[in-house]
Structure 1
Amino acid sequence: MIRNTDSRGIGIVHYLTKCGVKVLIGDVQPPTQPIDGPVYQKTDAGSWDDLLALFKKAQQLFGRIDIVVPNAGFGDRGSYNFKQDANGDPIKPEFDCLRVTLIGQMYTVKLALHYMRYQTPQGGVIVSTVSRSGYDCQAIAEYAVAKHGMVGLMRGLRNHTPTWNVRLNSIAPHITDTAATRSVEWLIPKLKEVGIPVSTVEETARAAAFLAANEAYNGCTISIMGSEYRELESGVERHKRDIMGNDPRFNPNPEQQAVLETIFPPASKW
């Protein structure tokens, strides 16, 4: 299963299809070019009802759901620009980016966990798109909030999902050569000219497929910068004590763990 028919999403569709995966695509628009194999269902990625219908369709078609790739989203729509109405008052932002890019992906992960937990045998893998903006972003504030939120969701769930034989990983593409970036005619050539790496959709898709197939990876993020791949979460873990100090919650004793579990119950009690 996969969502979003932009160039990056379609790259993942093509790659997984070549690997023999049966794919259901959910998006508001069908692929611009027909693809042999995958099935399309119209889906508003920010709608719980549409996403639930998409998962039910996948179960009906394939009997089970093994891979989910929440990839839908769009960029910042200028929510923090200084726009005013006729009275000079600030205009209420719509935050559509959050509705789709964060809430829609959270809905998708929730549904994936449900179906993967209750199917027989249990299990599956979720590979979310968190983008470079989920780790470092100097602009596009609303988009950065959405992507940081997806990183937080992965971190908050990854210690629990193995209870149901589910792995939760992420890909963090940097700038990718897609139809969206190509819509600004000069952008990709200029980035390459000044030495800023640009990835292809296949390079991004390869990272998603790797995380889907490799059972050693759970709670990990692969950064794709040009043709260079790097796992990010292991680096964060290595430096956590340097950043946060000697927090006893990093290595609690049994008494501390018992108290913490009353606040943060383990998956076995969900």
Structure 2
Amino acid sequence: MSAIPDDKLYDYASRLKDRVVVITGAANGIGRETALQLASHGAKVVIGDLDNAGAQKTVSDIERAGGSALSIKCDVTVWDDQVALFELAVAKFGAVDIVIPNAGVTELGNFDNVVFKNGKPVKPDTRTIDVNLNGVIYATHLALHYLEVNREFGSTTLKALVLIGSIASWLGITRGSLYTASKHAVLGIMRSLYPTFSRNNIRIACIHPFFADTAIVPVAMKVVLAGIPLATVPRIAGAIIHAATNPDPETNGCAILLNDDGPAFMVPREEFKMGVYKMIDARANALLQIEAGAKYYVRFVRDLVRILPKRVLVTGMVAGAAKMTWDHRELVSKYIRMYVSL
């Protein structure tokens, strides 16, 4: 990991000039600070927030400072609301260049305790998943489309999706099971989409702040955290902007950690592969290495034996064998004969 000093977080912010940013949850906290900073560097900001009055205040503050912004009431758990948000950005500014699905909630309900009614367990409150995961999934899916709207073929214009994870993307939070699950999933989304986005010259990143002094943190949790250095909101906003604007392709698909009130740290893609991650990655790489060899075909045939009806399997193998190299035909034929004799 490498530290990103505060004075480096905005090194590439000039790339924001006239870029169109769609951001959710910018009525307060991290989202509001990020929107203000984006606009101060020339971005056109389109805000979607359930707190419409708060979002309008953010817009007013941006406009008062000479920037350009607008907002729309948006419940991120409602697909049509998010579509309307992206459509507004295109209708007003002609494009979407950066997407930041920032809206989020803390652990809602009490998943760790089972509640009973009439002697039977009551369905748990899953609003945390609805907002923190499904809302992000909706925005990410829409980003796949809207980041390409009115984009010239081969264009190198800045395009980015910045997801908001958490320290809970990497460790478990006691009494925060669904929050932890949602933030683990957000990191997984970033890692899964990186190859696609990279091929299309679109940046993707995930920001992982420790607890910050924002409205999302319950008062009880703030009491527990009293005396512990918290991540600062301005630094988190700077990390988001750095992730979106850094032109170095080696930083695409990376995570940025903000563990406390110290500097942000960039985690290269390769450093995701530690501990259990490293073990899984090693096994995956080993499978890829033998994919073209005899062991692959042994496993391939064994799995087909398990999955397919016998007649379909034999017919398919015979047809496929006709296209294989002579080196592999003998091995496959052996397993066909073995299966037919069963």
TM-score past 0.5 threshold = yes
Partner residue of 1:220 out of 248, 254, 258? 254
CA RMSD of aligned residues (A): 2.5
Contact 1:75 1:143 in 2 (8 A): yes
Q: How many pairs were matched up?
A: 253
Name the one with the larger helix percent.
2
* Structure 2 partner of 1:14: 36
Query: Alignment partner of 2:265: what SS?
Result: strand
Deviations 1:33-57, CA, capped at 9 Å, x for gaps: 3422321101110111111111011
* Structure 1 partner of 2:320: none
Contact 1:113 1:166 in 2 (8 A): no
Contact 2:105 2:216 in 1 (8 A): no
Provide structure 2 residue ranges, at least 5 long, that are not aligned to the other structure.
Answer: 1-21, 297-342
Deviations 1:113-172, CA, capped at 9 Å, x for gaps: 111234323561000101111111232001111111111111111011122221111101
Would you identify which runs of 4 or more consecutive aligned residues in structure 1 move more than 4 Å? Answer: 238-242, 253-257
What is the CA distance between 1:82 and its match in structure 2?
Answer: 2.3
How far apart, in 2, do the equivalents of 1:242 and 1:112 lie? Answer: 30
* Structure 1 partner of 2:143: 112
What is the CA distance between 1:240 and its match in structure 2?
Answer: 6.7
How far apart, in 2, do the equivalents of 1:113 and 1:171 lie? Answer: 19
Query: Alignment partner of 2:225: what SS?
Result: helix
Contact 1:68 1:125 in 2 (8 A): yes
Contact 2:273 2:281 in 1 (8 A): no
Contact 1:241 1:247 in 2 (8 A): no
Map residues 132-143 of structure 1 onto 2, 5 A cutoff. 132-139=167-174, 140-143=176-179
Does residue 3 (structure 1) correspond to residue 24 (structure 2)? The answer is yes
How far apart, in 2, do the equivalents of 1:18 and 1:201 lie? Answer: 16
Does residue 178 (structure 1) correspond to residue 205 (structure 2)? The answer is no
What is the CA distance between 1:94 and its match in structure 2?
Answer: 3.1
> How many percent identity over aligned positions?
29
* Structure 1 partner of 2:119: 88
Q: Which amino acid aligns with 2:233?
A: V
Query: Alignment partner of 2:273: what SS?
Result: helix
Provide structure 1 residue ranges, at least 5 long, that are not aligned to the other structure.
Answer: 260-270
What is the CA distance between 1:243 and its match in structure 2?
Answer: 2.9
Scaled by the length of structure 1, the TM-score of the pair is 0.84
Scaled by the length of structure 2, the TM-score of the pair is 0.68
Q: Which amino acid aligns with 2:92?
A: L
Q: Between Structure 1 and Structure 2, whose CA radius of gyration is higher?
A: 2
Query: Alignment partner of 1:81: what SS?
Result: coil
